[in-house]
Amino acid sequence: MDLSFDLLGNALVSGLLLGGFYAAVTIGVTISFGMLDIVNIAHPAFIILGSYTAYIANSVFGFDPILSSIVLLPAFYLLGVAIYHVYDVSFERRGDASIRGLAFFFGLLFITEVTLVLTFGVDYRLVDAPYIGPSLHFGVIDLPLRLLVPFVVSLALIGALQLFMSYTFIGRAVQAVAQDPMALRLMAANPSKIKRIAFGLSIASASVAGAILIIIQPVEPSIARDYIGRIFAICVMGGLGSFSGTIVAAMILGIMESFTSTFYGPSWSPAVAFGFLLITLAIRPAGLFGRG
């Protein structure tokens, strides 16, 4: 194996950019699983749904995929609110959230995927935008805009969410729910209502994440599954519910995957995330930055 600096540098840079994108994909689960303790394994399916809405906006109406995904944020927010309502009434209030809640989200994952297959078929779909194609060059390092734009959008998305969580009343209430729902109830606040808002936000993030996904790679319904492992690996490794932990863990995974596919071939890269997840769970389930 010829370990040249060019190859190494490019693998590192594209891994970092990929990691930034993975952070956007994961941030919804960081909120729902990490902070609200709702095991939304259907999250990747909603991201793919976001890819398809961006695809329609782009191919039918000619809009920019990222702008259209921002316009669609309220629709995804409402979808999240609706799903949380069903989840809350059917499982959380009955105190039966574990098995049936998991099966519920697994069913949603499957329904979304099959519905997309029935509507759009299994062809790979692409979007068209001016920043897909050209690259910036710094010496031997290439910065493809196709990866750089999602990277920037992703960090902006997470930054906005972090500001919301730190500086607004509702955002702080969400953090309170994450810490101690019982105490919140004693303060005469309703945790369900706050969780509904937070879950809505987590699904809303899937709109933007989906749009940048379809910029990075062509999308077909079943690729949702490849992201389940990545998302949960990052979320667990990032310490469940920590935004900065999510970004760091996402970048570590991005770099590892990029190295694997550069030096061993892309067919091995799905195993990286899952191997990583298994090792994290076995050795340090609290994550890199978690307590305990």
Partner 1 sequence: MRNLLFILLAIVAAVATFAAAKLIGNAYVFFAGYVVLQYIVLATAWNILGGYTGYVNFGTAAFFALGAYTTVVLHKTVPFLPLPAMMLVGGVISGVIGLGMGYLTLRLRGTFFSIATLAMAVVAQTLITNWNFVGGSRGAYIIRPASSPIFPGDYIQYLFVVMLLLSVISVSAARAIQHSRLGYGFSAIRDDEAAAEASGVPTLRLKLIATALSGGLMGMAGAPLPYYVTYLDPASGFSLSYAVNTIAMPLIGGTATWLGPVIGAILLGTLQQVATVTISSALSLLLVGLLLVGFVIAAPKGIVGWFTR
Cβ distance to partner 1 smaller for residue 29 or 216:
29
Cβ–Cβ < 8 Å for 181, 19: no
Q: Which amino acid is at 44?
A: P
Measure the CA angle with vertex 30, ends 25 and 36; round to 5°: 140
Measure the CA angle with vertex 252, ends 250 and 256; round to 5°: 115
In the bound complex, what is the minimum distance in angstroms from residue 94's beta carbon to partner 1?
A: 7
Cβ distance to partner 1 smaller for residue 161 or 277:
277
Cβ distance to partner 1 smaller for residue 98 or 190:
98
Helices (H), the chain: 5-29, 43-59, 65-71, 73-87, 99-120, 145-167, 169-179, 181-186, 191-216, 224-237, 243-263, 269-283
Give the separation between CA 67 and CA 58, rounded to whole angstroms: 10
Written as six digits, the tokens of 260 are 């694997």
Give the list of residues 6+ apart from residue 292 with CB closer than 8 angstroms, or none.
286
In the bound complex, what is the minimum distance in angstroms from residue 245's beta carbon to partner 1?
A: 17
Cβ distance to partner 1 smaller for residue 131 or 274:
274
In the bound complex, what is the minimum distance in angstroms from residue 169's beta carbon to partner 1?
A: 30
Cβ distance to partner 1 smaller for residue 43 or 125:
43
Cβ–Cβ < 8 Å for 211, 68: yes
Sites of contact with partner 1 (CB under 8 A): 39, 41, 86, 90-91, 94, 96, 98-100, 102-104, 106-108, 110-111, 113-115, 117-118, 222, 225-226, 228-229, 232-233, 236, 267-268, 270-271, 273-275, 277-278, 281-282, 285
Cβ distance to partner 1 smaller for residue 151 or 259:
259
> 61: how many CB neighbours lie within 10 A of its CB?
8
Cβ distance to partner 1 smaller for residue 26 or 58:
26
In the bound complex, what is the minimum distance in angstroms from residue 151's beta carbon to partner 1?
A: 25
Q: Which amino acid is at 228?
A: I
Give the separation between CA 52 and CA 207, rounded to whole angstroms: 9
In the bound complex, what is the minimum distance in angstroms from residue 177's beta carbon to partner 1?
A: 18
User: What residues are paired with 144 via a beta bridge?
Assistant: 135
In the bound complex, what is the minimum distance in angstroms from residue 268's beta carbon to partner 1?
A: 6
- Tokens 């500086």 belong to which residue? 167
In the bound complex, what is the minimum distance in angstroms from residue 161's beta carbon to partner 1?
A: 23
